[in-house]
Amino acid sequence: MDRYAVIGHPVAHSKSPLIHQAFARATGQHMSYELLPAPLDGFLATAQRFAAEGGRGLNVTVPFKLEAYAMAKERSARAEEAQACNTLAWRDDHWYADNTDGVGLMRDLTHNLHETLAGRDVLVLGAGGAARGILGPLLAKMPRSVVLVNRTEPRAAELAASFAEHGPVAAMSSAQLNGRRFHVVINATSIGINGDVPENLWPEHPFAVGGLAYDLVYADVPTPFLRWASQRSAERTADGLGMLIEQAAESFVLWRGVRPETSPVFAMLRPQA
Ligand code: NAP
């Protein structure tokens, strides 16, 4: 049986085994998918041991996405663009690195949430690894503008400059936003489910009429960002569970050559929705 796993530290909380096992059942694929915890200083050794034992593919989560990218001998264009890897596939004698986070988010936004990105104004909060991973696929959807706001402003400026040739992206301070409104506001910071929203940093009223607030973080209760957005007239909110499932589906396509249905898995993981 072909073996797959999610590698991370910590990894026990990951929903990836549930997602991929459901995909495998639904598509009739003969494969296993397990948790692969690695020590902080042991990513490379753990990944190589998994391959030596017959492992065919890995999803990579915090904090190993950069190490996975660096380790791979071959990389997809979208991994190169993100300079990070969330999916590894074993090819003959080496790891092939891909990044399905950005395309997974785009599929959740456009296919599941029916969001039109072309011609829209999009605000991205944060300029870390996740923001880098989503910028290329986002700009490919031809938005009218993408604005980056980040706590460490030079980091946002650097990120915007490195994607300038892909489309209209600019870094701004929240003061510079000066009454601008956005159709889609994406939280790509790591403030998480228990952190405090940086009120002084984020614009007071960022949402255009019908605006969507999207949090990359997911939880069974509204996240701090989504509560903040609801108080500021966001008409629609969504957390990152859909992105998690869609990026997993993209990994599954890479590994197995079959596209699984994602909506039954969303319903399984969030039956109350
Ligand atoms: P990262 O590289 O560590 O970047 C963190 C970002 O958050 C930086 O822009 C950082 O700003 C900002 N930040 C951290 N604490 C902050 C605070 N207190 N106030 C304001 N800004 C703050 O992390 P990442 O890899 O980009 O991940 C970001 C989030 O996306 C994580 O929660 C991750 O779980 C989530 N994610 C979800 C999915 C999914 O499938 N749903 C996929 C990928 C990632 P500075 O530059 O100033 O430090």
Give the start-to-end residue ranges of the domains of the chain: 2-99+242-269, 102-239
In the structure, what pLDDT confidence band is assigned to residue 214 with cuts at 50, 70 and 90?
Answer: very high
| Interval 54-66 mean pLDDT | 96
Prediction pTM value: 0.96
The residues that are catalytic are: 65
Distance 194 CA to ligand 1 centre (A): 13
| Interval 165-184 mean pLDDT | 94
* Same-fold call for 2-99+242-269 versus 102-239: yes
Distance 185 CA to ligand 1 centre (A): 15
- In CATH, the number for domain 2-99+242-269 is 3.40.50.10860
Instruction: Describe the strand order of the beta sheet including 55-60 as a list of residue ranges.
Output: 31-37, 2-8, 55-60, 87-91, 94-98, 74-75
Taking 90 as the threshold, does the pLDDT of residue 272 lie above it? no
Q: Give 91's strand partners.
A: 94
* Ligand 1, atom 3: closest residue by C-alpha: 128
Instruction: Describe the strand order of the beta sheet including 207-215 as a list of residue ranges.
Output: 169-171, 145-149, 121-125, 182-187, 207-215, 236-238
CATH top class, domain 102-239: alpha beta
Closest atom of ligand 1 to 190 CA is 32
Distance 257 CA to ligand 1 centre (A): 31
Taking 90 as the threshold, does the pLDDT of residue 247 lie above it? yes
Question: Quick one: pLDDT at residue 263?
Answer: 97
